[in-house]
Amino acid sequence: MAKSKFEYVRYFEQENKCLKNCWIVVRIDGKNFHRFTEIHEFDKPNDINGLNLMSNAAVNVLREFSDINLAFGHSDEFSFVFKKKTNIFNRRSDKILSLVNSIFSSSFVFLWNKYFPNKQLIYAPAFDARIVLYPTDQNLRDYFSWRQADVHVNNLYNTCFWALVLKMGLSPVEAEEKLRGTLSSAKNELLYKNFDINYNNEPEIFRKGTVLVRKCISWEGATKPKSVIIPLHCDIIKDDFWNSHPEILDQSETPLVDKLKLDHYFVCEQKNFKM
């Protein structure tokens, strides 16, 4: 069984490395989630358990890759950014792309029961992924601004659409027609006048999406601080966020924060978790 005779086929592999000193963004997107959420009867316009499941799958990605120090997601998508200076897998694009996506995908299924204890997963969903490089901090911030602006636009629309369908009894086609071409202001008014909804009072997780940041906390009995991942639902377009978390753009050490001030966090090192 002359292995060597066939081994030449290895040299058809082509390496594709991410340009050095650029931020590496991986964005994953649910494949055909319209159908997935329908079959699994997700709440409309937003299913809080579905969103938290997405975030927890993303947390698993951050647990695996310590060089990711920021992630942002909403609906069926999540973006992860690796430090500019990362040398993970020698910056090989295929490796980075496939592993981020695989951890996310398998975690989504693995964690299903935690968020939907009474709902059976009918089939395993899939996510596609792409990799994008950003040379400057401003490009990176603009990327996240783009994604968060998208949350706003989509969620305002969806809030209107589903109110019209679920509360006013319009057909999807009628709801779509009614909303076509309307400005934000008109949508806000429609919600207020017809459904007594003040859009700005809607939960921030729906309006802003979920940001994951990495911090350290001290731990009773632990000899050294532990790394944790914190979900936030805040604006990431303005300077505030970036000034409050300077370690993200600085690529500096993960800062220590006061555990008592945290509502909610995920510990990085779980027993048996580390692959």
* Binding-site annotation, residues for GTP: 29-34, 75-76
Among 37, 75, 79, 105, binds a second copy (CB under 8 A): 105
72 forms beta bridges with: 79, 211
Contact criterion met (CB below 8 Å) for 64 and 81: no
Residue ranges at the known binding site for Mg(2+): 29-30, 76
**How many beta carbons lie within 10 A of that of residue 235, not counting itself?**
16
> Which one of the spans 17-25, 69-77, 162-170, 171-179 is the region binding a second copy (CB under 8 A)?
17-25
The reply to whether 107 sits near a second copy by the rule CB under 8 A is yes
**How far apart are CB 174 and a second copy at their closest, in Å?**
26
Site for a second copy in 147-176 (CB under 8 A): 149-150, 152-153
Residue 11 engages a second copy in binding (rule: CB under 8 A): yes
Specify whether the CB–CB gap between 243 and 266 falls below 8 A.
Answer: no
**Pairwise CA distance, residues 42 & 90, whole Å:** 40
Continuous segment of H or E residues that includes residue 24: strand 23-30
22 is a site residue for a second copy (CB under 8 A) = yes
The rounded distance, in Å, linking the Cα atoms of 153 and 214 is 28
Residue 200 interacts with a second copy (CB under 8 A)?
A: no
Interacting span for a second copy (CB under 8 A) from 139-147, 196-204, 218-226, 256-264: 139-147
Phi-psi region of 181 (alpha: psi -120 to 50; beta: other; left: phi over 0): left
How far, in Å, CA of 212 to CA of 70, rounded?
6
Binding to a second copy, residues 23-62 (CB under 8 A): 28, 31-32, 35-36, 39, 60
Q: Is 86 helix (H, G, I), strand (E, B) or coil?
A: coil
Taking CB under 8 A as the rule, does residue 108 contact a second copy? yes
Instruction: Kindly state whether residue 183 participates in binding a second copy, applying the rule CB under 8 A.
Output: no
For a second copy, the binding residue among 85, 168, 174, 184 (CB under 8 A) is 184
CA proximity to 50, closest of 139, 129, 114, 3: 114
Give yes or no for a contact between 81 and 6, defined as CB atoms under 8 angstroms apart.
no
Q: How far apart are CA 76 and CA 154, in angstroms?
A: 12
Q: Which stretch binds a second copy (CB under 8 A): 6-14, 47-55, 185-193, 243-251?
A: 6-14
How far is Cα 256 from Cα 237, in angstroms, rounded to an integer? Answer: 24
The residues in 209-248 that bind a second copy, with binding defined as CB under 8 A, are 237
Q: Which of 124, 168, 186, 256 binds a second copy (CB under 8 A)?
A: 124
- Residue in 52, 66, 102, 254 binding a second copy, rule: CB under 8 A: 102
**Least gap, CB of 175 to a second copy (angstroms):** 22
- What's the one-letter identity of residue 201? N
Total of residues contacting a second copy (CB under 8 A)? 74
d(CA 82, CA 69) in angstroms, rounded, equals 7
137 or 257: CB nearest a second copy? 137
* Residue 266 near a second copy by CB under 8 A: no
Which of 37, 101, 159, 210 forms a contact with a second copy (CB under 8 A)?
A: 101
